[in-house]
């Protein structure tokens, strides 16, 4: 049951991060370092999603933290546009 809850939480975080990313739109173009970090995190997320087995919960934890980092970078990009 815990595994299903973690997967559901990870999926929810992914949806939330994606929705935030959609809202940011083209504002990312004037922040190349933040954009590069966001792209790298998305690549890392894809690798974690493709990894086999749960690795005693560490893969899911890393996936959750990566999704959180994606959200933070997207929020930083949005905040940077208002400066």
pTM: 0.64
Residue with tokens 């933290």: 65
7-30 pLDDT, tens digit each: 666 666 666 666 656 555 555 468
pLDDT in tens, 31-69: 999 999 999 999 999 999 999 988 999 999 999 999 999
Residues contacting residue 52 through CB under 8 Å, at least 6 positions apart? none
Domain ranges, ordered by start, for the chain: 2-82
Which pLDDT does position 54 carry in this prediction? 83
What's the confidence (pLDDT) of residue 52? 92
Task: Give the number of other CB atoms < 10 A from CB of residue 67.
Answer: 24
């Amino acid at each position: 049951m815990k595994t299903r809850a973690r997967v559901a939480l990870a999926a929810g975080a992914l949806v939330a991060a994606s929705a935030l990313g959609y809202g940011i739109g083209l504002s990312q173009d004037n922040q190349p370092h933040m954009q590069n970090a966001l792209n790298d995190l998305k690549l890392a997320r894809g690798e974690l999603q493709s990894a086999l087995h749960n690795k005693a919960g560490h893969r899911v934890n890393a996936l959750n933290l990566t999704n959180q980092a994606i959200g933070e970078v997207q929020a930083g990009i949005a905040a940077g546009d208002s400066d």
